Amino acid sequence: MTDNPLEALSARIAPLQASRPLGHVTALRAGHIEIAGLSRHVSLGDEVRCRGGTLAEVVAIHGERIDAVPCGDLSGHEVGALVEVSGDPTISPCDTWLGRIVDPFGNAIDGRGVASGPPLPIRHPPPEAGTRRGFGDRLATGYVALDTLLPIVEGQRMGIFAGSGVGKSRLLGDLAQTADADVVVVALIGERGREVAGFARDVLGEAGMGRTIIVAATSDRPANVRRRTLPAALTVAERFRAKGARVLFLCDSLTRHAEAFRDLNAASDDRGGGVPRGLVSELAGLIERAGPGGPRQTAITALFTVLVAGSDMEEPVADTARGLLDGHIILSRDIAERGQYPAIDALASVSRALPGAATKDENAVISKCRLTLELFRKNELMVSSGLYEKGGDPALDSAIQQTPAIQKALTDRTGSIEESFAILRKALG
């Protein structure tokens, strides 16, 4: 996967032109620039740069005038200032980014300099549907729950749905450390600054960061910068997939990307609490970029967190994401408050890799476990209130006896998928 420095330099020189069109600023408002003279030289989503260095994204074209949203502070800018076209937004990842934290433009934000590879456009379609490979092998995660009831396979796109403080960041960090992958790419969108450094230092640690690249935009960055984080991070992941690496992609969170999209489009498309026009296709296009590659390519296995306030799975972003992903892992506050970690609600969660990802015997174990948990949950109130007498239903008696052992088993850590199934079989008696 080693980069060729001359190739990277040539790729940077190639777009340079002896002359380029210039426009000028005609109006400035908070979070908004109006520019004349460039409308025939740009497309929606292109970037322009004001003299003074501020980059801005083109969000509307009106005849001879364009509207752009700045990626930074407009203090000191003036009407009449010259503006030049930067073109399609790009990012320039290379192998030396492993272990580093960068922003969505590829600038280091961990206090050290960073090298660059050839620039890659962050906006492009996913691989052609008819050429993509299917799911690959199961990934050993180190968790009994995810190795058995909710398997994750190479190329799968899973959602982790949870409220705040239920353990989703910790679960992401553990998976980044233990999951069977060559490279891990993490997109952190709208996090507090201390949380970005804390995720790298405390959650991943030195061992986890050794194979990880974090692309982050903190909560204080403009909406278009936060929205840029996910496609930029996916471009980094795609670069490693194209070079033959098995990539684990972690996004925290899809909800904050949607919020940035909503903020950016609020002026022209405000639907209150509903889904802004274009959001579904935006999320679908980004999620589809993960997954299996084309012929002779490896896969990007992806987990996207989705914030669900009050466990509201019908919330627009959560409901949309469930329909686009290959399964969902629900983290329950009630389970977390009982001291169980990971706080996975096994009955509410599903992996669409089943039944194909498991053997006939393993599927039988999974089915028996789910039936046992479901029988106990249906009768839990009656049992806990003392209304059930032992011996009334042999199947329920078995479920009452086995459920605590199953719940404990699902929180266990293991070294292999085989060991995970052995622990679950033992819990089932």
> pLDDT tens digits, residue range 218-242?
999 999 999 999 999 999 999 999 9
% of residues, the chain, pLDDT over 90: 55
pLDDT at 194 over 80: yes
pLDDT at 15 over 70: no
Return the CATH architecture of domain 361-428. Up-down Bundle (1.20)
pLDDT at 390: 85
> pLDDT tens digits, residue range 60-116?
898 889 999 988 888 778 899 999 998 899 999 999 999 999 999 999 998 888 898
Q: Model confidence at 166, in pLDDT bands (50, 70, 90)?
A: confident
Tokens for 117, please give them: 């590879």
pLDDT at 54: 87
pLDDT at 158 over 70: yes
Instruction: Say what the pTM is.
Output: 0.88
Backbone angles phi, psi at 194, to 5 degrees: -65, -25
Q: Look at 50-54, 187-191, 277-281, 406-410 and tell me which has the smallest mean pLDDT.
A: 50-54
Q: Model confidence at 264, in pLDDT bands (50, 70, 90)?
A: confident
In 3D space, the residue among 130, 121, 126 whose CA is nearest the CA of residue 295 turns out to be: 130
pLDDT at 271 over 60: no
Kindly state the average pLDDT of the residues 19-34. Answer: 86
Return the CATH architecture of domain 18-88. Beta Barrel (2.40)
Backbone angles phi, psi at 20, to 5 degrees: -150, 150
pLDDT at 119: 93
Q: Look at 31-35, 106-110, 294-298 and tell me which has the smallest mean pLDDT.
A: 294-298
Q: Look at 8-22, 280-294, 299-313, 345-359 and tell me which has the smallest mean pLDDT.
A: 8-22
pLDDT at 268 over 60: no
pLDDT at 156: 95
Tokens for 9, please give them: 């330099």
pLDDT at 293: 86
pLDDT at 52: 75
Kindly state the average pLDDT of the residues 374-380. Answer: 92
Q: Model confidence at 387, in pLDDT bands (50, 70, 90)?
A: confident
Kindly state the average pLDDT of the residues 305-326. Answer: 84
pLDDT at 9: 60
pLDDT at 173 over 70: yes
pLDDT at 316 over 90: no
pLDDT at 124: 87
* Domain assignments of the chain as residue spans, ordered by start: 18-88, 91-358, 361-428
Looking at the domain 91-358, which fold is it? Rossmann fold (3.40.50)
